[in-house]
A and B are shown apart, each in its own frame.
Chain A
Amino acid sequence: AQTVTQSQPEMSVQEAETVTLSCTYDTSENNYYLFWYKQPPSRQMILVIRQEAYKQQNATENRFSVNFQKAAKSFSLKISDSQLGDTAMYFCAFMKHTLGTSYGKLTFGQGTILTVHP
């Protein structure tokens, strides 16, 4: 079974600054996806960024980037130029992936509440 751990229950950052959210995971699988989801106060789950384990290059989506360390089983999210709208709960998640298919079942971390201050 897979486990995902987010050790930072809460984080805060000043507007325009950079913040990094941590995530570690444990798995015996070699092929998998890792995700960061954002959940604003509206409760809607929004996919922020995705990383395939077989890719060495870290994924980037505008102000969001990841630092994927496969050997260390670490998957942190960096938010640059933080904006007030980034205030949300952020979840790290894992999905195993085998031979061109995945199993569709996400395993989530506990979540980190990020507050961006003006």
Chain B
Amino acid sequence: IAGITQAPTSQILAAGRRMTLRCTQDMRHNAMYWYRQDLGLGLRLIHYSNTAGTTGKGEVPDGYSVSRANTDDFPLTLASAVPSQTSVYFCASSVDSSSYEQYFGPGTRLTVT
């Protein structure tokens, strides 16, 4: 089934540890995005990539890094996790940066203790 997959589904992580959230899409979409969802704040954009090989910062990029080595994969890395990064993380993609419709993955629930 075409779409976006995210791994892991959920994770409990000790503060200070490094963690990579994985995101893979098989729709050959050029643009990809990472959002975090927090109660009372909605979803906020962390980083985005308009095409393979390029990335950009969103609204809340501090503490996170991304890479886009190919079209399908867009991993999000927390170099040294802190409790404030406890959140649900969503990966999304769109055909390209001029497309209004974004397709979302199922999300990763991350708890940093």
- Which chain A residues lie closer than 8 Å to B106 at the CB level? 42-44
Q: Does B97 contact A (CB under 8 A)?
A: yes
Q: Are A106's CB and B43's CB within 8 A?
A: yes
Interface size classification for chain A:
20 to 34
- Which chain A residues lie closer than 8 Å to B44 at the CB level? 108
From B40, B42, B90, B97, contact of A101 by CB (8 A): B97
- Which chain A residues lie closer than 8 Å to B74 at the CB level? none
Closest to B41 in A: A110
Most chain A beta carbons < 10 A, residue from B44, B50, B100, B104: B100
From B42, B43, B48, B59, contact of A104 by CB (8 A): B48
Q: Are B42's CB and A111's CB within 8 A?
A: yes
Total number of residue pairs linking A and B with CB closer than 8 Å: 62
14 contacts between A and B (CB under 8 A): A43-B107, A44-B104, A47-B101, A91-B43, A97-B100, A101-B98, A102-B100, A103-B97, A104-B48, A104-B97, A104-B98, A105-B58, A107-B59, A111-B40
User: Nearest Cβ distance between residue A13 and chain B, in whole angstroms?
Assistant: 21
Q: What is the interface size of chain B, counting residues whose CB is below 8 A from a CB of the partner?
A: 27
Q: Does A45 contact B (CB under 8 A)?
A: yes
User: Nearest Cβ distance between residue B46 and chain A, in whole angstroms?
Assistant: 11
- Give the contacts of A56-110 with B (CB-CB under 8 A): 91, 95, 97, 100-110
Given A95-B100, A97-B100, A105-B58, decide whether A45 and B41 contact each other with a Cβ distance below 8 A: no
User: Nearest Cβ distance between residue A38 and chain B, in whole angstroms?
Assistant: 11
User: Nearest Cβ distance between residue B45 and chain A, in whole angstroms?
Assistant: 5
- Give the contacts of A1-15 with B (CB-CB under 8 A): 4, 6, 9
Closest to B101 in A: A47
Q: Are B33's CB and A45's CB within 8 A?
A: no
Task: Tell me the complex Cα distance, A8–B46, Å.
Answer: 25
